């Protein structure tokens, strides 16, 4: 049985259930790297150019940790997921970066997913990836269908039950999240940001559970139905150019319309798309008079500084409630 | 209507020429002042902290144009991958917040370039007849070509001239003369005259200058303010500079020859193929290819210029360090924190390294 290594970083949080289904249908075994730890972070940082953003460094660390544990690595180049929208360059060039910086890595499977280039190109690329495991094209087709189905199920699960990707992937739907939610106060805080920073608890220092411990009801972008996201993005910033920014801008706008008490934006230092798009949201929050906390993290950010800012923010939101009511 | 646009190297000469040919009066076209520290400060003050340098510089330049009274602004627009796609939208909102009542018209630089240029000129001129527009645009473009032709000679002369700074002085005079030319014939005459003058500059005939290729993100490579005049500084150190990326080349291919199925980067993409096989946005793919190209051509080193946090160039930088072709790379990351002395020190060390390498058979 061929072992496929999937790094627990970047697009893992969006597409893992689909990838898992796909490879398991092709009789392959899926190996996922363990949650981020210091060794991984350091090995990633040591390879990449200093200006590279944190999530890419972390992906490299995860990929390095998988060497020797699998026969091939799966790092797709997700170029475009819709008409006239693209992803950040670093996501498009991800397999190339990994190949250049980790010369000792096993084979990297890197299908280019580019819906702009048409159906044939997409099918061809997926078939090429599937062909590595199995030569029966019908079986590959079936695997793709199953993967699509599980992707939809995954997204529906998150928006219907209001859970985070981590819970949806691991299957424990209620536990920590719901028990902590909404006991002490009615404060509603939306935390928005890319899934690969929001749910990697090593790099964000457990931001979500920290907020919950302070008595906030936390809402994340994945809880918004997908159709609402696109509509909200268009209302705020016009035509979207970056696929994954919809999750941030659209969710932010959606939650602003739902009248949350505050918005926390978690972004990574040096993130190109965020640097342009979050401004729209900040502008809008200012218009509506909703508190907005921009947090920027990188490999040097400390837990203490984050906690201080969060506490100050939550205190401010609480006081506002008292004064306004 | 008073039209303004961001400063970008010699683009203002073309814009001025086109406007004059179309019979616009002097106050209908606002020529933005050359970039200075003030432009940068303005841009930095009103931009998101993590935006890239071209964004900040163009915003600063647009604000300066607004201060001079511009009410219609031209800005580039692109689809997709790089931040360029949102320049116009973000900047329009910012200028609006600052209280300038301006209207943006966009020049599409990633697809439908010629249609968008046509639309732009049409919007700005209202009812000028098409042949007149075409001849005006061609006249403007001819100035770009002339300037780039002279610049190529300047880059060669700078490295070997005996009295440093002479070629640059002639180049500055040439820019002024071409800016003032009113006819295409005149432009041709001036070009010939200045190339003749450059060839007469006393040079050191025995010198065999080091050759260095310059590439990277288009705005910071072409606009001297954004790269702290790195080409002039290299010239002072006796290094011959070669740069593929010029405004005239962009115009030639993007506006005309690409429509005939020609791609100026085909060869470069082919060289980059073992490392990157698809577009990563901006000029990232080209940068990887150009490093390989200069290595194959036997250059002594390359200079890679990128704005801080530029996504495509970071991809290129990561990949570039592991190409098979061994080649010293001088990476210049430009942002508002850059200082010229720091760059000069690094540049001197780089040139020393190249000389050492040449003497010792390129082993390090």
Binary contact (A51, B284; C-beta < 8 A): no
Q: Is the pLDDT of residue B4 over 70?
A: yes
Question: 3-state DSSP call for residue B211?
Answer: strand
Assess whether B112 and B144 both reside in one domain: no
Residue B342 shares a structural domain with residue B214: yes
CA distance A99 to B275: 8
| % pLDDT > 90, chain B | 59
Helices (H) and strands (E) in chain B, counts: 15, 7
- CA distance to partner chain B, nearest, from residue A132 (Å): 20
Evaluate if residue B231 carries a pLDDT over 60. yes
Per CATH, the architecture of A163-324 is what?
A: 3-Layer(aba) Sandwich (3.40)
Per-residue confidence (pLDDT) for residue A245, from 0 to 100 = 81
Model confidence pLDDT, tens digit, residues B26-84: 788 889 999 999 999 999 999 988 889 999 999 999 999 999 989 899 998 876 678 88
Alpha carbon B292 to its chain centroid, in Å, reads 21
Residue B322 is nearest to which of A92, A103, A238, comparing CB atoms?
A: A103
Residues B146 and B104 in one domain: no
Q: For residue A124, list chain B residues with Cβ-Cβ distance below 8 A.
A: none
- C-alpha R_g of chain A: 20
Report CB contact under 8 Å: B81, A276: no
Interface of B with A (CB under 8 A): 48-52, 79-83, 85-86, 89-90, 93, 275-282, 284, 308-312, 314-315, 317-319, 321-322, 333
> Digits of tens for pLDDT over chain A (325 positions)?
899 999 999 999 999 999 999 999 999 999 999 999 999 999 999 999 988 999 999 999 999 999 999 999 999 999 888 877 888 899 999 999 999 999 999 999 999 998 888 889 999 999 999 989 988 889 999 999 999 999 999 988 888 888 888 888 887 655 555 555 555 567 899 999 999 999 999 999 999 989 988 888 899 998 888 888 888 888 887 777 788 887 788 899 999 998 899 999 999 998 888 888 888 888 899 999 999 999 999 888 889 999 999 999 999 998 888 876 5
Can you tell me the ipTM of this complex?
0.88
| Same domain, yes or no: B319 and B230 | yes
How far is the alpha carbon of B58 from chain A, nearest alpha carbon, in Å?
15
| B101/B29 same-domain check | yes
Closest-CA residue in chain B for A269? B50
Residues on chain B touching A275 (C-beta within 8 angstroms): 48-52, 83, 309
Residue B361 pLDDT exceeds 80: no
Q: H helices then E strands: how many in chain A? A: 16, 10
Same fold, A3-155 and A163-324: yes
Residue of B nearest to A102 (CA): B322
Is residue A39 within 8 A of residue A46, CB to CB? The reply is no
The confidence score (pLDDT) of residue B226 equals 93
Average model confidence (pLDDT) across chain B = 90
From B79, B90, B312, residue closest to A89, measured CB to CB = B312
Q: What's the pLDDT score for residue A310?
A: 94
- CATH architecture of the region A3-155: 3-Layer(aba) Sandwich (3.40)
In Å, how far is A91's CA from the nearest CA of chain B?
9
Q: Which of B111, B127, B143 is the endpoint of a domain?
A: B127
B114 lies in the same domain as B238: no
Res. B259: pLDDT tops 90 = no
- Choose one of B151, B184, B205: the last residue of a domain: B205
Q: Which domain holds residue B161?
A: 129-205
| Residue to test with chain B: of A271, A275, A282, A297, most B Cβ within 10 A | A275
Query: Which pair of tokens denotes residue B137?
Result: 């645009």
What SS3 class is residue A150?
A: helix
Q: Looking at the 3D structure of chain B, how many domains does it have?
A: 3
Residue B319 confidence (pLDDT): 93
Instruction: Indicate if B246 and B277 belong to the same structural domain.
Output: yes
- Tens of pLDDT, residues B143-164: 999 999 999 999 999 999 999 9
When pLDDT is averaged across residues B207-230 and rounded to a whole number, the result is 93
Q: Judge whether residue B271 has pLDDT over 60.
A: yes
pLDDT of residue A182: 52
CB pair distance less than 8 Å for B319 and A97: yes
Domain boundaries, chain A: 3-155, 163-324
Tokens 């998150």 locate to A158
The predicted pLDDT at position B289 comes to: 93
Q: Which of A77, A100, A278 comes nearest B275 by C-beta?
A: A100
The alpha carbon of residue B353 is apart from the nearest alpha carbon of chain A, in Å, by: 21
pTM (2 decimals)? 0.91
- Give B304's contacts in chain A (Cβ within 8 Å): none
Q: Nearest CA to CA, how far is A176 from chain B (Å)? A: 35
Q: Are residues B245 and B355 in the same domain?
A: yes
The residue among A119 and B173 whose pLDDT is bigger is: B173
Q: What angle do CA B313, B229, B355 make, to 5 degrees?
A: 80
Calpha distance B146→B190 (Å, rounded): 9
Kindly state whether residues B69 and B9 are assigned to the same domain: yes
Q: Indicate whether B246 and B363 sit together in one domain.
A: yes
Q: pLDDT-based confidence at B8, cuts 50/70/90?
A: very high
Among the partner-chain residues A93, A276, A280, the one whose CB lies closest to the CB of B83 is A276
Residues 6+ apart with CB under 8 A from B143: B10, B13, B14, B17, B178, B179, B181, B187
User: Which residues does residue A292 pair with via DSSP β-bridges, in sequence order?
Assistant: A263
Residues B56 and B83 in one domain: yes
Residues in B closer than 8 angstroms to A79, CB to CB, are 278
List phi, psi (to 5°) of B5.
Answer: -155, 160
Residue B362 confidence (pLDDT): 65
The pLDDT of residue B127: 73
Q: Which of B70, B96, B127 is at the close of a domain? A: B127
Counted across chains A and B, CB pairs separated by less than 8 A come out at: 111
**Chain-chain contact of A89 with B282 (C-beta, under 8 angstroms):** yes
Contact A79, B79 (CB under 8 A): no
A92–B278 CB contact, under 8 Å? yes
Share of chain B above pLDDT 70, in %: 99
Write out the residues of chain A at the interface with chain B, using a CB-CB cutoff of 8 A.
Answer: 48-49, 51-53, 77, 79, 84-90, 92-93, 96-97, 99-101, 103, 112, 114, 237-238, 241-242, 269-280, 283, 296
Give the whole-angstrom CA distance, residue B88 versus residue B94: 10
pLDDT attached to residue B66 = 93
B228 shares its domain with B345:
yes
């Amino acid at each position: 049985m061929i072992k496929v290594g999937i790094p627990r970083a970047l697009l893992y949080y969006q597409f893992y259930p689909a990838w898992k289904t796909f490879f398991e249908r092709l009789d392959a075994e899926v190996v996922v790297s363990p949650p981020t730890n210091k060794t991984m972070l350091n090995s990633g940082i040591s390879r990449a150019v200093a200006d590279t953003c944190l999530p890419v460094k972390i992906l490299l660390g995860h990929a390095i940790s998988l060497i020797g544990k699998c026969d091939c690595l799966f790092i797709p180049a997700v170029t475009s997921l819709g008409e006239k929208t693209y992803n950040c360059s670093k996501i498009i060039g991800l397999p190339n970066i990994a190949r250049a910086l980790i010369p000792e890595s096993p084979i990297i499977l890197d299908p280019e997913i580019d819906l702009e280039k048409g159906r044939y190109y997409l099918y061809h690329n997926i078939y090429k990836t599937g062909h590595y495991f199995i030569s029966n094209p019908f079986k590959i087709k079936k695997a793709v269908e199953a993967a699509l189905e599980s992707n939809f199920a995954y997204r529906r699960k998150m928006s219907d039950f209001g859970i985070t990707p981590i819970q949806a992937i691991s299957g424990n739907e209620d536990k920590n999240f719901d028990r902590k939610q909404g006991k002490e106060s009615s404060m509603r805080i939306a935390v928005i940001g890319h899934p690969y920073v929001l749910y990697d608890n090593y790099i964000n220092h457990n931001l979500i559970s920290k907020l919950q411990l302070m008595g906030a009801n936390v809402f994340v972008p994945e809880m918004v139905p997908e159709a609402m996201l696109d509509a909200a993005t268009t209302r705020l910033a016009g035509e979207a150019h970056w696929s994954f920014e919809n999750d941030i801008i659209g969710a932010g706008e959606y939650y602003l319309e739902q009248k949350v008490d505050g918005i926390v934006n978690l972004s990574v230092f040096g993130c190109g798309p965020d640097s342009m798009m979050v401004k729209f949201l900040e502008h809008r929050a200012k218009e509506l008079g909703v508190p907005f906390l921009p947090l920027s993290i990188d490999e040097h950010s400390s837990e203490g500084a984050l906690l201080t800012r969060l506490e100050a923010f939550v205190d401010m939101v609480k006081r506002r409630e008292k004064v306004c009511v | 209507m008073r039209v303004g646009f961001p400063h970008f190297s010699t683009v203002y000469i073309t814009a001025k020429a086109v406007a004059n040919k179309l019979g616009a009066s002097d106050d209908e076209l606002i020529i933005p002042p050359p970039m200075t520290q003030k432009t940068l400060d303005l841009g930095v003050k009103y931009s998101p902290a993590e935006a890239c340098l071209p964004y900040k510089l163009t915003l600063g330049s647009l604000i300066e144009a607004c201060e001079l009274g511009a009410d219609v602004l031209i800005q580039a627009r692109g689809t997709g991958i790089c931040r360029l796609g949102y320049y116009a939208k973000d900047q329009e909102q910012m200028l609006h917040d600052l209280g300038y009542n301006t209207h943006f018209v966009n020049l599409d630089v990633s697809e439908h370039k010629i249609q968008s240029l046509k639309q732009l000129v049409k919007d700005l001129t209202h009812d000028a007849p098409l042949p007149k527009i075409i001849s005006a645009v061609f006249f403007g473009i001819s100035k770009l070509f002339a300037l780039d032709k002279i610049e190529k000679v300047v880059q060669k002369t700078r490295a070997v001239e005996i009295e440093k700074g002479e070629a640059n002085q002639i180049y500055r005079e040439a820019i002024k003369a071409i800016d003032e030319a009113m006819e295409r014939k005149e432009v041709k005459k001036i070009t010939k005259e200045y190339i003749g003058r450059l060839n007469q500059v006393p040079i050191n005939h025995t010198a065999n200058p080091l050759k260095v290729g310059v590439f990277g993100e288009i705005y910071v490579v072409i606009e001297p303010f954004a790269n702290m005049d790195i080409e002039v500084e290299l010239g002072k150190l006796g290094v011959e500079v070669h740069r593929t990326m010029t405004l005239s080349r962009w115009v030639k291919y993007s506006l005309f020859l690409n429509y005939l199925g020609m791609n100026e980067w085909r060869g470069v993409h082919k060289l980059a193929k073992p490392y990157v096989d698809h577009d990563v946005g901006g000029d990232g793919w080209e940068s990887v290819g150009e490093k390989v190209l200069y290595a194959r051509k036997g250059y002594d080193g390359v200079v890679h210029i990128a704005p801080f946090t530029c996504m495509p160039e970071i991809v290129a930088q990561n990949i570039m360090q592991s190409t098979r072709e061994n080649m010293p790379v001088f990476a210049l990351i430009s942002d508002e924190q850059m200082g010229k002395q720091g760059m000069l020190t690094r540049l001197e060390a780089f040139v020393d390294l190249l000389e050492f390498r040449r003497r010792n058979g390129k082993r390090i």
